[in-house]
Structure 1
Amino acid sequence: MRTRRQVLLPLALAPVAGWAVWSSGSAEPTHPFSRFHLPLGDATALWRDLAQVRLNGPISGPEFPARVAGLEGKTVALCGFMIPLAEGAAHSRFILAANPVGCAACENPGPATMLHVHVRNPVRETREPVVVTGTLRIKPNEGLFYRLERAELRDA
């Protein structure tokens, strides 16, 4: 049988837990639970293709769909979220992710939903979505499946 303390203690702690979440800046997701954070559009549709890469095991490399493989060396535009690789106000290299870090409604990020970006001119860090245009490279030797070279930020 449960004691009065066992019943009331969780009820008393619930407001404290809610306050901790609120004070940390976390909010309820503003979109339904889905694989991608941003709505489907011209600058986000490519993420759906890039995420279709297949891994056949630890020994073999990734297999890219023909549509993605055909983009090697082509200029593409992607909208995503900046993840800086170092401290500082401006960055010339960063990770562009399909989903923001810490979104409770999005799938966990993986190497197929991130790309290493090398921009021509350093850009300021932001938590807002950014549109980046550059030359897509597939299977660079940097740990991720994709790299965007000679990239530039566009207006979202």
Structure 2
Amino acid sequence: MRTILSVLLLLALSLPVAAWAQLTDEELASEPPPEDATFDDFAHLVPPTPEGAVSWDLLGSTEEIVEIVNRRSFLRPDYPDEVKALDGQTIRIKGFIYPMQNQEWMAEFLFTALPPSCPYCLPAGAGYIIETRAKNPIRFSWDAVLLEGELEVLEDDPYGLFYRLNDARRVRE
């Protein structure tokens, strides 16, 4: 999984800018978000929280702290007590599968508050992304899905991830 994350980040950083510059407005189909865009500008895309499930608002309330060590920056979480209390708990959360490989059924993927829109771009900040390891492979869907699994609150993830959902399974609503 870590290798896949590294490759995805490398691809995102190495896309030729000239290729994007050649696209017309019609080909882009929409304007890019403004430089000062925030998660709130896209909050209308977050699926509603089902009864008894954890909300993305709660997970997203984790503050992102940037630390510089030896001229390298690292993203560190500052979790609210309500989020810390979820560590090791079985939770339900509704969101979108962000595939890490080109497969219909996946055992490892990212789960996000916002729908995937670019194969090289993560759709949200660290508080709105969960590294997911499924108990059995889960079928990709463009629609929001409800997952259940054991939430792991990560303290020092080398990739800047804040959450992992272990033994995840899809729950029918």
TM-score of the aligned structures, taking structure 2 as reference length: 0.64
Structure 1: gaps (5+ residues): 1-15, 23-31
Give the Cα–Cα distance (whole angstroms) in 2 for the partners of residues 148 and 100 of structure 1.
18
Alpha-carbon distance, 1:58 to partner? 1.3
Question: What is residue 149 of structure 1 aligned with on the other side?
Answer: 166
User: Larger Rg: 1 or 2?
Assistant: 1
Alpha-carbon distance, 1:21 to partner? 2.7
4+ residue runs of structure 1 moved beyond 4 angstroms?
Answer: 16-20
Specify whether residues 43 and 87 from structure 1 end up closer, same or farther in structure 2 by C-alpha distance, changes over 3 A only.
Answer: farther
Superposition pairs of residues 125-136 of structure 1, within 5 angstroms:
125-136=140-151
Superposition pairs of residues 94-133 of structure 1, within 5 angstroms:
94-102=109-117, 109-133=124-148
Q: CA RMSD, aligned part only?
A: 2.8
Number of paired residues?
128
Alignment-mate amino acid for residue 163 of structure 2: Y
**Identity across the alignment (%):** 23
TM-score of the aligned structures, taking structure 1 as reference length: 0.70
Alpha-carbon distance, 1:55 to partner? 2.5
Give the Cα–Cα distance (whole angstroms) in 2 for the partners of residues 74 and 20 of structure 1.
42
Question: What is residue 48 of structure 2 aligned with on the other side?
Answer: 39
2:59 to 50, 54, 62: 50
Alignment-mate amino acid for residue 150 of structure 1: D
Structure 2: gaps (5+ residues): 1-23, 31-39, 69-74
